[in-house]
Amino acid sequence: MLRVGLTGGIGSGKSAVAERLAALGAVVLDADKAARAVVEPGTPGLARIAETFGPGVLQEDGSLDRAKLAGIVFADETARAKLNAIVHPLVREHMRAAEQVAIMAVGDDAVIVHDVPLLAEGGRGDEFDLVVVVDVPPEVQVDRLAAQRGMPEEQARARMAAQATRAQRLAVADIVIDNSSTLADLDRRVSEVWTDLKAQSQAHH
Residue 204 has pLDDT above 80, yes or no: no
Q: How far apart are CA 147 and CA 141, in angstroms?
A: 10
Under a CB-based contact definition with an 8 Å cutoff, are residues 70 and 104 in contact?
no
pLDDT at res. 166: 94
Q: Which of 34, 26, 22, 33 has its CA nearest to residue 2?
A: 26
pLDDT at res. 93: 92
Residue type, 174: D
pTM of the full structure = 0.84
Residue type, 187: D
pLDDT at res. 205: 59
Average pLDDT over residues 124-150: 92
Percent of the chain with pLDDT over 70: 100
Residue 89 has pLDDT above 70, yes or no: yes
Segment 142-194, tens digit of pLDDT:
999 999 889 899 889 888 888 899 999 999 999 999 999 999 999 999 999 99
| Domain spans of the chain, in order of start | 2-32+94-204
DSSP 76-87: -HHHHHHHHHHH
pLDDT at res. 54: 94
Domain 2-32+94-204 listed as CATH 3.90.550.10 = no
